[in-house]
Amino acid sequence: MNRKSVRFGQNFVTSINDINKICKKIDVNSNDVYFEIGPGKGHFTQYFVERAKEVIAIEIDSELIPILNNKFSDLDNIKIVNHDFMSYELPSTFKYKVFGNIPFNLSTSIIRKLSLEKYADEIYLIVELGFAKRLEDLNRKMGLMLAPFYEISILYNIPKRYFHPIPSVEVVLIKLKRTSYNMSMKEYIKYEDFIEKWVKKDYNVLFTKNQLKQAIRYGNIDNLRILKVDQILSIFESYKLFNGLK
């Protein structure tokens, strides 16, 4: 690995056998448009390009672009883009899918970006197990920020030996399936502010005693510590209503 791949990269999977075992869990068919985050040298890309209608591979490291162009020069269903995924403008007119074996320190920012992309219908990411668990946890900020928009499932505990260098943490493949719920950026910022206070249990900052009682009643809630997604959204709606934020 060169200096750049250490800077932008992390844990690579290169064996075709191992890649097939991981990708078997992923739904790819001939109607799919797939965006790949960080294709690297195109090991996973090959799998998608052979099965999807189109692949748009977005790689930040300009040194990898000639390698990718060369590898896929015979194919016309792939577009290789030298761009930072974080500032890449995703489509807003058709549904698409996303795959990424991404640097783990980008997981949170990628999830945040994709939360607002209503056409990102299915997302498959390779992430740390701990991160995946935080995404599933509706008592934590990350879980509550994601839950309205995506149903999350852990598809596969990937054997550490598939990666090089071998990671020190457990790594999993997760799937996020888009729900029909949407928010504007403005609304999302309000929701984030609300959730930050909610997870700290700062209920008295969010509501008066009476308002909290009412919000609990509107949300049909028995136990504030075990909430379902629609209940937290109902509480958020009450919060906006009581605070003139609607």
Ligand X SMILES: C[S@@+](CC[C@H](N)C(=O)[O-])C[C@H]1O[C@@H](n2cnc3c(N)ncnc32)[C@H](O)[C@@H]1O
Instruction: Indicate whether 56 belongs to the interface with ligand X (CB under 6 A).
Output: no
Of 88, 22, 31, the residue nearest 54 (C-alpha) = 31
Stretch of 58-66, 90-98, 128-136, 181-189 lying at the interface with ligand X (CB under 6 A):
58-66
- Inter-residue contact 80 to 72 (CB < 8 Å): yes
Instruction: Indicate whether 219 belongs to the interface with ligand X (CB under 6 A).
Output: no
E-assigned strand segments in the chain: 33-37, 54-59, 78-82, 96-101, 120-128, 150-158, 171-178
At 75, is the secondary structure helix, strand, or coil? coil
Q: Is 84 known as a binding-site position? A: yes
Stretch of 48-56, 96-104, 192-200, 219-227 lying at the interface with ligand X (CB under 6 A):
96-104
- Inter-residue contact 137 to 146 (CB < 8 Å): no
- Inter-residue contact 133 to 188 (CB < 8 Å): no
Stretch of 52-60, 116-124, 183-191, 220-228 lying at the interface with ligand X (CB under 6 A):
52-60
Instruction: Indicate whether 61 belongs to the interface with ligand X (CB under 6 A).
Output: yes
- Inter-residue contact 121 to 99 (CB < 8 Å): no
Instruction: Indicate whether 37 belongs to the interface with ligand X (CB under 6 A).
Output: yes
Task: Report, in Å, the least distance between residue 136 CB and ligand X.
Answer: 23
Residues of each annotated binding site? 11, 13, 38, 59, 84, 101
Residues of each annotated binding site for S-adenosyl-L-methionine? 11, 13, 38, 59, 84, 101
| Residues of the shown chain interacting with ligand X in the complex, contacts defined by CB under 6 A | 8-13, 37-40, 43-44, 58-61, 64, 84-86, 101-103, 106
